[in-house]
Amino acid sequence: MKSMGRTDLPPEQQRALRSAVRWEWFTIGYTVVTIVLIAFVVGGSQAMKTAWIEDMLSLIPQISFLVALLLIRRKPTRAFPYGLHRAMGVGHLVAGVALLAIGGSLAVESVLGLLRAEHPAIGTVYLFGQTIWLGWFMVAVMTLIVVGPFFYGHAKAKLAPTLHNKVLFADADMAKADWTTTVASVVGVLGIGLGWWWLDGAAALFISAGIVWDGYKNARSAILDLIDQRARTHDDAEAQPLIGRIVDALEAQPWIGEAGVRMRDMGQVFHVEAFVVPHRRKVTVAQLEAARHAISEMDWKMQDVVVIPVTDLPDETERRSRVAG
Amino acid sequence: MPRVLRILAVASLALALTGCGIPTDPEGTLARIDADGTLRAGASPSGALVRVSGDDVAGSLVDLVEGFARSRGAEVTWEVDSEEALVDALESGALDLAVGGMTDQTPWSDRVSVTRGFTGIDGAEDTPVVFLLPMGENATQSALEAYLDEELRR
């Protein structure tokens, strides 16, 4: 796991990537165990059922991360001259759309249940000579599994910026918010226990609204990168600060008068097109190579860098004065 | 956020310890059976499990329902009808319970609460037989299942 397409990963990123892969496998293992545990107790509670399906859905980002990782490590070929970096974005989009669609159908289901005033039924189990209400087991299982996402959520959230990986970031973000799902399902079950049947449907609606929101955020972020928005930070919070640094580095070269940059996120690595207006009419190959090299050296994420001498900068490029925005 | 979790943990623990009131019936079926001293049960004929002759209902399921009612100090008033009519009556709240040799594969589970399947009932042997209840009357279901566990596992 030393390279990523054309890029050789620096030691810090290699370590982070190995760690991320371990955490993803750990998460998959943990989630499979929770899915099996919940299967034993799911019963008639809509909130439990929704939380259960959410658990299943939460596997998609991890699986798509691991699959995409196999693809994006390949070097560019003649058939795929940009490498396969978009695989990460495609995985991100698939995860987002799945969350959106299934979350939506779960939300409709819980609203219909509430409108029809369906009273959820939870029976008992016979264990060690005792008849015990299944609701207590639901509460116990959910209380037991609430701790996991805290650990792997925070661990992955630390790795995501180092790797500039949006799937990992979104995954960590969802894991960190996972406890709200658990709390909601426990509230729903206790509601049933107290005879407040509507609390279960309300909890299910809350959980499915969370799934829809996650789906919307993920699908949106994936689509924006796939249609080549200006590169942004791993959390989409602001324009990628590297753009400004590239412009500065180019304009520091004595032969360049003005520079403008177009940079897109290929998923983890960037594709940089730098337009430069030279002071004189003649530009040497050595000068262009030096400029290109300076940009590539700036950060491991600079996968594909082209420097193009022009007489006027294209309007849509980022320049020194505009980068702030 | 951990504070929310802690509050919830304490609340569930408190409910579990004082948990005699959980689960509760949203429509109060069990409390009504206890207060009125009558359990309105429906029966649909099914071999040795539910035998109907004239006004008289008998059979091993009938005995179990009457035993359950007795354990709560109540009498059973029987109504004999087809399964679908019994399910309708459970849905409208006209019945508290229905038997008729339905198994745990019963398709009525969409409309009424279905108990666990109980084996070892005379005349059914290894077939898991279920009892039907109004949807979501979880206290009634818990009480009935607890009674049946005790009765059938002795």
Encode pLDDT of A291-303 as tens digits: 999 999 899 988 8
Q: What is the reported pLDDT for B53? A: 86
Q: How far is B49 from chain A (nearest CA, A)?
A: 23
Residue B87 lies in a domain: yes
Report chain B residues whose CB lies below 8 A from the CB of A44: 113, 136
Cβ of B116 within 8 Å of Cβ of A186? The answer is no
Q: For A82-91, what is each residue's pLDDT tens digit? A: 889 999 999 9
Cβ of B23 within 8 Å of Cβ of A119? The answer is no
Sign of the Cα pseudo-torsion (A304, A307, A308, A311, in order): positive
Cβ of B137 within 8 Å of Cβ of A146? The answer is no
**Residue A182: partners with Cβ closer than 8 Å, 6 or more residues away:** A51, A142, A143, A145, A146
Q: For A26-48, what is each residue's pLDDT tens digit? A: 999 999 999 999 999 988 899 99
Nearest neighbour of A143 by CB, restricted to B4, B9, B22: B9
In whole angstroms, give the CA distance from residue A126 to residue A120: 20
Residue B19 lies in a domain: no
In whole angstroms, give the CA distance from residue B153 to residue A123: 18
In whole angstroms, give the CA distance from residue A305 to residue A95: 30
Cβ of A131 within 8 Å of Cβ of B22? The answer is no
Cβ of A119 within 8 Å of Cβ of B146? The answer is no
Read off the pLDDT of each residue in B75-79 and give the average, rounded to a whole number.
Answer: 93
Q: How far is A316 from chain B (nearest CA, A)?
A: 44
Helix (H, G, I), strand (E, B) or coil at A320: coil
In contact, A62 and A91? CB cutoff 8 Å: no
Report chain B residues whose CB lies below 8 A from the CB of A190: 11-12, 15, 22
Helix (H, G, I), strand (E, B) or coil at B134: coil
Sign of the Cα pseudo-torsion (A240, A241, A242, A245, in order): positive
Instruction: Provide the terminal-to-terminal Cα distance of chain A, rounded to the nearest Å.
Output: 36
Q: How far is A59 from chain B (nearest CA, A)?
A: 24
In whole angstroms, give the CA distance from residue B15 to residue B13: 5
Which band of pLDDT confidence, cut at 50, 70 and 90, is reported for residue B2? low
- Mean pLDDT score of chain A: 90
Q: What is the reported pLDDT for A83? A: 87
Q: For A299-316, what is each residue's pLDDT tens digit? A: 998 888 999 999 999 999
Cβ of A186 within 8 Å of Cβ of B23? The answer is no
Q: Could you tell me which residue, B7 or A194, shows the higher pLDDT?
A: A194
Closest Cα in chain A to B29:
A195
Q: For B98-118, what is each residue's pLDDT tens digit? A: 999 899 999 998 899 999 999
Nearest neighbour of A119 by CB, restricted to B9, B136, B149: B136
Q: What is the reported pLDDT for A106? A: 93
Cα B9 to Cα A140, A218, B132: the distances in Å are 10, 32, 33
Q: Could you tell me which residue, B66 or B125, shows the higher pLDDT?
A: B66
Which band of pLDDT confidence, cut at 50, 70 and 90, is reported for residue A246? very high
Residue B64 lies in a domain: yes
Total domain count, chain B: 1
**Residue A20: partners with Cβ closer than 8 Å, 6 or more residues away:** A65, A156, A159, A163, A165, A168
Residues of A with a Cβ under 8 Å from any B Cβ are 44, 118-126, 131, 133, 135-136, 139, 143, 146, 179-180, 183, 186-187, 190, 192-197
Q: What is the reported pLDDT for A281? A: 86
Cβ of B142 within 8 Å of Cβ of A195? The answer is no
Q: What is the reported pLDDT for A1? A: 60
Helix (H, G, I), strand (E, B) or coil at A223: helix
Reported pTM: 0.87
- A·B CB contacts under 8 A: 94
Q: How far is B108 from chain A (nearest CA, A)?
A: 13
Report chain A residues whose CB lies below 8 A from the CB of B142: 123-124, 131, 133
Closest Cα in chain A to B115:
A123
Cβ of A124 within 8 Å of Cβ of B116? The answer is yes
Report chain B residues whose CB lies below 8 A from the CB of A197: 26, 136
Q: For A153-168, what is each residue's pLDDT tens digit? A: 999 999 999 999 999 9
In whole angstroms, give the CA distance from residue B144 to residue B131: 9
Report which DSSP code applies to A194: T
Report chain A residues whose CB lies below 8 A from the CB of B8: 183, 186-187
Sign of the Cα pseudo-torsion (A43, A48, A53, A56, in order): negative
Cβ of B22 within 8 Å of Cβ of A194? The answer is yes
In whole angstroms, give the CA distance from residue A23 to residue A259: 41
Closest Cα in chain B to A195:
B26
Q: How far is B26 from chain A (nearest CA, A)?
A: 4
Q: For A73-122, what is each residue's pLDDT tens digit? A: 888 899 998 889 999 999 999 999 999 999 999 999 999 999 998 899 99
Domain, as residue range, for B53:
27-152
Q: How far is A189 from chain B (nearest CA, A)?
A: 10
Report which DSSP code applies to B52: E
CA atoms within 13 A on the CB side of B143: 26
Q: Could you tell me which residue, B3 or A29, shows the higher pLDDT?
A: A29
In whole angstroms, give the CA distance from residue A302 to residue B153: 71
Residue B109 lies in a domain: yes
Query: Does pLDDT of A190 surpass 90?
Result: yes
Cβ of B145 within 8 Å of Cβ of A119? The answer is no
Residue B1 lies in a domain: no
Read off the pLDDT of each residue in A206-215 and give the average, rounded to a whole number.
Answer: 94
Strand-pair category, A302-309 with A270-278: parallel
Whether the bond into A254 is cis, omega within 30 of 0: no
Ordered structural domains, chain A, with CATH: 3-226 (1.20.1510.10), 242-309 (3.30.70.1350)
Query: Interior CA angle at A307 toward A303 and A312, to 5°?
Result: 140
Q: What is the CATH number of the domain that holds B103?
A: 3.40.190.10
Q: How far is A58 from chain B (nearest CA, A)?
A: 21
Q: What is the reported pLDDT for A303? A: 80
